[in-house]
Structure 1
């Protein structure tokens, strides 16, 4: 599985729907729920269908799940559904990309690691954007370009704090 493709597929809902912590929590849980349901319902179809039929079944299933998600949000949390807009429907792209990119062996482990990281990133980005907007009065944090800049800063911080490979002891010596 190539992480860069999954990150690109997850960027639109991640950047657009995380203005507040509550919106970030809802979009993160929606991503988690929709992806797990999609993979669970496709599991019995995987050995029976192949090629274009499998792709069509996957597309129809994820579209039905996204419609149910949007209807549920509108029924039980209308102000939040209006604030999220069409971003819950964009989770379909992420589900279809995951279905193509996940390998057959170890599928559920990689899916759970990716979804846990994505949920954590949603919550962190939502809390950071809300704090920057309300606490420091930075209006750009509530806009999509501000979210992209903040995501870049968070990824740079992660790369800086992540332990890298140990340097070779023979480095520079012959």
Structure 2
């Protein structure tokens, strides 16, 4: 399984389900809990399963957890479930991505997961502030558009994510390795 494809596909929930701070915090919580439960379930199984059997098991565990999570959202908070759309189901891709990165990166994978949740909250806050001018902490549905309409749409989220990542890169400059600079 190609990790770069999984990483690209895991951006869809980040961009689509972060219209408001409440939606973003719900997705961050769902992502964090599902990925941690997935890693907890897969940890004892990694000893016995390797290769294709381990990947298939990881996919089945992720799909099971996301299905249970979706059914729980249907039962307990249908308004939130409808506001989030299809994006909670895509958390299974993030489970697979973090499953692959735990073996190679270890502790860095958990820092990445925390950073991903912070990015959800930051993007949801900025998008809601730009679209409506204020944070509405009572309504799950999209913001009342009184400001910049582009901020409430997915392309606007992609643009804001690019600006945020550029600001983070500017604030935390690192020396590029020769491989990253394009020199052979």
- Sort the TM-score into its range (normalised by shorter chain): 0.7 to 0.9
Which region of structure 1 is more displaced relative to structure 2, 126-135 or 48-57?
48-57
Aligned residue runs from structure 1 range 61-72, under 5 A = 61-72=61-72
Aligned residue runs from structure 1 range 23-62, under 5 A = 23-62=23-62
Which region of structure 1 is more displaced relative to structure 2, 14-23 or 135-144?
135-144
Cα distance in structure 1, aligned partners of 2:78 and 2:7: 28
Measured against aligned partners, the alpha-carbon deviations of 1:64-93 in whole angstroms (never above 9, x if no partner) come to: 100011111122211111011110110111
Alpha-carbon shift at residue 111 of structure 1 (Å): 2.4
Cα distance in structure 2, aligned partners of 1:4 and 1:154: 20
Aligned residue runs from structure 1 range 72-87, under 5 A = 72-87=72-87
Alpha-carbon shift at residue 157 of structure 1 (Å): 1.0
Contact 2:101 2:109 (C-alpha < 8 Å) held by counterparts = no
TM-score with structure 2 setting the length = 0.81
- The alignment yields a C-alpha RMSD, in angstroms, of 1.9
Aligned to 2:136: none
Instruction: Pick the structure with greater CA Rg.
Output: 1
Give 5+ residue unaligned stretches, structure 2. 134-145, 176-184
Measured against aligned partners, the alpha-carbon deviations of 1:81-117 in whole angstroms (never above 9, x if no partner) come to: 101111011011111122223325x62x222201110
